[in-house]
Amino acid sequence: MDALLDIGRIFINPVFYIALIAAVLLGYFRVKKERKTFRTRVVWGGTEFAGLLKDGFLFAIILSILFAGVGLVVPMEWLVALSIVSIIMLISGVYQMGSFIYLSLAAVALGWLMRTNAWSIDLGFLQFQGYFLSWEWLVPVALITGAFVVLEGWLVRKYGAVSASPRLEKAPRGLMAAVYKSKRLWLIPVLLVVPGSLVESYAPYWPQLPIGESSLSLILFPIVFGFQSLARKTMPIYLFPRIGKAIMIVGGVVVVLALLALLWQPLAFAALIIGALGRFGVAIYFAAKERQGNHAVTPQALGVMIVDVLPDSPADKMGLIRGEVIRKVNGLSVSNESELYEAIQVNAAHCRLEVLDHNREVRLRQHVIFRHDHHRLGLIVVN
């Protein structure tokens, strides 16, 4: 019963509920923007909410077993500070600063500042007064942080492009071009070991990194982190995997430095600082690179460029994807949306498309277009 009560603490942590609400609002405002721009939603409105827990659920189990198994003990005060900075991030909606390395380091800094300046916050169930920095608990905090940054990179690599929403903006030549905004949240409920009495009563020889407490307890804590980026020069399916890989490398560096901190403890704090600088460097590098050069999706002189494809539409069934260029429809050359749909009517029963893919290779696609098919072909194009 005590175990269930400790694990069930996740449901009294406001981070859990605020993250759920934030994910719902994220999808709602994205769809609202898509309807305003394209008169239809592009990606299902529940994508962000559905992926909030589902995307990282397996890793939540793996990391819980790993952290609890090796006895990485973190102070409850750090979790309280982490909850505070996570709530600030969620409410602000500034997910560029939602990386877990930022949140973890901010939590460390917040607790230290409060204790140093004798500040306190009355949370109802707890009078939070911060804490002094201690190498003993900074080591497990750095290890946990590094692991979550690696996970963050993996999630960005796999899911960053899934819900990337198209936007229109003016290109340098005055024409409208498409950009893709990816804004995601992930909630990972992870089992952590904190000072308490629960674990010791059942497992007196539980492995741990001691922080001066003789008894330990388990708590299921909602780790939340966000991601936000914009794809201009590069298509999302190529850009976000690269960003994710770079974030994973940063996380790996944090883990290695945290492990070395077992030999020299000050490296734990250095791992957090270097990780935050590295993650910031990744964001700046890719943002600057995307601002250089031409947009990936712009109007074409010969053909119609695809901004996006509606799910389950005829275009989706034909295998058309973002960034491809439709050169001919039913044997007729097309250069804008009007010509595209006029050419479809020539032989809608057996619509044949000549498409230029991302490698500038021509491929042919064919599909039957019925009158009840939504948006006729299911394409969003740029003129």
Return the pLDDT at 56. Answer: 92
User: What pLDDT sits at residue 345?
Assistant: 79
Confidence of residue 170 (pLDDT cuts 50, 70, 90): confident
Give the position of tokens 């460390």.
108
Average pLDDT over residues 218-229: 93
209 has a pLDDT exceeding 70: no
Confidence of residue 33 (pLDDT cuts 50, 70, 90): very high
> Given pLDDT bands bounded at 50, 70 and 90, which one contains residue 126?
low
pLDDT of the residue at 346: 79
192 pLDDT exceeds 70?
Answer: yes
In this prediction, residue 184 carries a pLDDT of 95
pLDDT digits (tens, 9 = 90+) for 157-169: 999 998 899 999 9
Q: What share of the chain is helix, strand, coil (3-state, %, to 5)?
A: 50, 20, 30
Asked whether residue 138 carries a pLDDT value surpassing 60, the answer given is: yes
> What is the DSSP secondary-structure string of 12-41?
G-HHHHHHHHHHHHHHHHHHHHHHHHHSS-
pTM higher than 0.95: no
Three-state secondary-structure class, residue 167: strand
**Does residue 38 contact residue 380 with C-beta atoms inside 8 Å?**
yes
Average pLDDT, the chain: 86
Does pLDDT of 211 surpass 50? no
CA dihedral 6, 8, 11, 12 (to 10 degrees): -30
CA distance 107 to 282: 21
Percent of the chain exceeding pLDDT 70 equals 88
- The predicted-structure confidence for 73-114, as pLDDT tens digits, reads as follows 898 889 999 999 999 999 999 999 999 999 999 999 999 888
| CA 18/CA 345 separation, integer angstroms | 49
Share of the chain above pLDDT 90, in %: 55
